[in-house]
């Protein structure tokens, strides 16, 4: 069996953070049934540019492989009936909506426990289900600003800067998946489900991590340092070589000792200004310019083999294209592909979750409502006429047109 083959998730999800959490569960075999609002033509992720056509996009593919789709209008009595029938045979109702919306949609534990006492209701929202911002939409950019991430990112004399990737959203998906699995485990053990309130804001604040501990206890103020330097470990930052950039880091004293040998400055090992972590941090403005002069003499390709040979943490600063074609990327099998009726062969990065006795298979993301008949008849046991009657009553909304090849 696949690791999560015995878990069924009703996913009232959209866009990025929520689907990012459930896609990894789907990769592990969970039956993720994606509920899409026909009034909105499904998940908004289907229409994200630049590579979008009809009701699909490469953005949507990234977040929704290995899932099934049911176009369902939860605002109709007929659509609600289908949803509640799904609750009877599922483990989780998973959503990523504004914090006050799950209660309005009646998809919380108290709304559903009479149908399935073990149902787990996971809400991933921008600001959670309590607090003054509960009704506000939460987006990665906004949260990076609110939590203080942007203020500590970038060059010292530059503007506040967002991370190059949507790290709050992606981290939120992972935390939601962890929360979901923990709650399902407890529900199966205890026979009682629960609500799970996962907030991107909470995650952004929590990920302030050790600098927050320093601040809360000692008033520490995290400052930006040039070239993405570590706040306290010196040297650990980007350095410009003769023809490009590289990262060199001395996270342990032994690495500093080795670096001194490689750059032919053995006297720095005992220089009181550089002899230990604290001294190097105090004398950062003295040491770093000297290292920059030394590193600028040779190319990245000349420096890195010497650092590798000395087991000093280091690496090139690649472009995304270079990262995707790194020999380690290829060796680890991090790129998979499948065929798609619109986009042809689609390549994508795989889930980082690895089990020695399980090799995931990847299939394309579903077309909106693609699995209606299989879910209604095979899973829920509806007769053909009943499905037809529900469709006429508007439970499923419109049927999207078949995709056209690109």
Within a domain: 94: yes
Q: Which pLDDT score, from 0 to 100, does residue 185 have?
A: 98
Let me know whether 44 and 165 are in one domain.
yes
pLDDT at 405 over 80: no
Q: How confident is the model at residue 227 (pLDDT cuts 50, 70, 90)?
A: very high
Let me know whether 34 and 149 are in one domain.
yes
Which residues span the domain enclosing 301? 226-317
Give me the percent of the chain exceeding a pLDDT of 90.
97
Distance of CA 193 to the CA centre of its chain: 25
Here the tokens at position 233 are 């470990």
Q: Which pLDDT score, from 0 to 100, does residue 406 have?
A: 54
Here the tokens at position 85 are 């029938």
pLDDT at 404 over 70: no
| Nearest one of 184, 308, 175 to 247, comparing CA atoms | 308
Let me know whether 257 and 387 are in one domain.
no
Instruction: Of 75-79, 394-398, 402-406, give the lowest mean pLDDT range.
Output: 402-406
pLDDT at 199 over 90: yes
Q: Which pLDDT score, from 0 to 100, does residue 276 have?
A: 96
Let me know whether 123 and 174 are in one domain.
yes
Q: Which pLDDT score, from 0 to 100, does residue 398 have?
A: 77
In this structure, what CATH number is given to the domain that contains residue 193? 3.40.50.10540
Q: Which pLDDT score, from 0 to 100, does residue 403 have?
A: 64
pLDDT at 263 over 80: yes
pLDDT at 400 over 90: no
Q: Provide the number of structural domains found in the chain.
A: 2
Tokens 């930052």, residue?
237
Let me know whether 312 and 276 are in one domain.
yes
Within a domain: 355: no
Let me know whether 192 and 238 are in one domain.
no
Give me the percent of the chain exceeding a pLDDT of 70.
98
- Per residue in 108-134, pLDDT tens? 999 999 999 999 999 999 999 999 999
Vertex 274 angle, CA 270 and 280, to 5°:
160
**196-207: average pLDDT:** 98
Instruction: Of 6-10, 106-110, 302-306, 359-363, give the lowest mean pLDDT range.
Output: 359-363
pLDDT at 378 over 70: yes
In this structure, what CATH number is given to the domain that contains residue 233? 3.30.1540.10
| Cα–Cα separations (whole angstroms), residue 318 to 10, 272, 295, 300, 351 | 39, 35, 17, 11, 21
């Amino acid at each position: 069996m696949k690791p999560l083959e015995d878990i069924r998730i009703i996913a009232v999800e959209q866009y990025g953070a929520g689907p990012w959490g459930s896609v990894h569960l789907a990769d592990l075999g969970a039956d993720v049934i994606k509920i899409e609002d026909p009034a909105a033509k499904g998940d908004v992720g289907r229409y994200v540019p630049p590579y979008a056509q009809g009701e699909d996009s490469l953005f949507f593919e990234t977040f929704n492989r290995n899932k099934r789709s049911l176009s369902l209008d939860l605002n109709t009595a007929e659509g609600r009936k289908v949803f509640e029938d799904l609750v009877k045979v599922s483990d989780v109702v998973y959503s990523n909506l504004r914090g006050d919306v799950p209660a309005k949609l009646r998809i919380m534990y108290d709304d559903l426990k009479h149908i399935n006492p073990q149902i787990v209701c996971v809400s991933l929202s921008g600001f959670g289900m309590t607090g003054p911002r509960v009704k506000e939409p939460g987006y990665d950019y906004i949260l990076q600003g609110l939590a203080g991430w942007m203020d500590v990112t970038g060059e010292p004399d530059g503007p506040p800067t967002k991370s190059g990737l949507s790290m709050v959203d992606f981290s939120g998906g992972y935390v939601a998946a962890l929360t979901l699995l923990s709650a399902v485990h407890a529900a199966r053990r205890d026979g009682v489900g629960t609500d799970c309130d996962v907030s991107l804001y909470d995650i952004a604040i929590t990920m302030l991590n050790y600098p927050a501990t320093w601040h809360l206890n000692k008033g520490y103020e995290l400052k930006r340092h040039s070239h993405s330097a570590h706040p306290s470990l010196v040297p650990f930052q980007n350095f410009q070589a003769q023809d490009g950039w590289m990262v060199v880091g001395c996270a342990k004293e032994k690495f500093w000792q080795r670096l001194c040998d490689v750059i032919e400055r053995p006297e720095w090992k005992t220089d009181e200004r550089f002899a230990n972590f604290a001294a190097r941090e105090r004398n950062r403005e003295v040491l770093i310019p000297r290292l920059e002069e030394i590193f600028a003499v040779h190319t990245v390709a000349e420096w890195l083999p010497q650092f590798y040979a000395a087991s000093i943490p280091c690496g090139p600063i690649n472009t995304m294209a270079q990262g995707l074609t790194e020999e380690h990327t290829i060796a680890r099998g991090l790129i998979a592909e499948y065929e798609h009726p619109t986009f042809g062969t689609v390549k994508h990065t795989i889930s980082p979750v690895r089990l020695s006795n399980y090799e995931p298979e990847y299939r394309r993301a579903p077309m909106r409502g693609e699995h209606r008949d299989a879910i209604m008849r095979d899973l829920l046991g509806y007769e053909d006429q009943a499905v037809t009657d529900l469709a006429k009553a508007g439970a499923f909304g419109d049927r999207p047109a078949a995709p056209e090849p690109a």
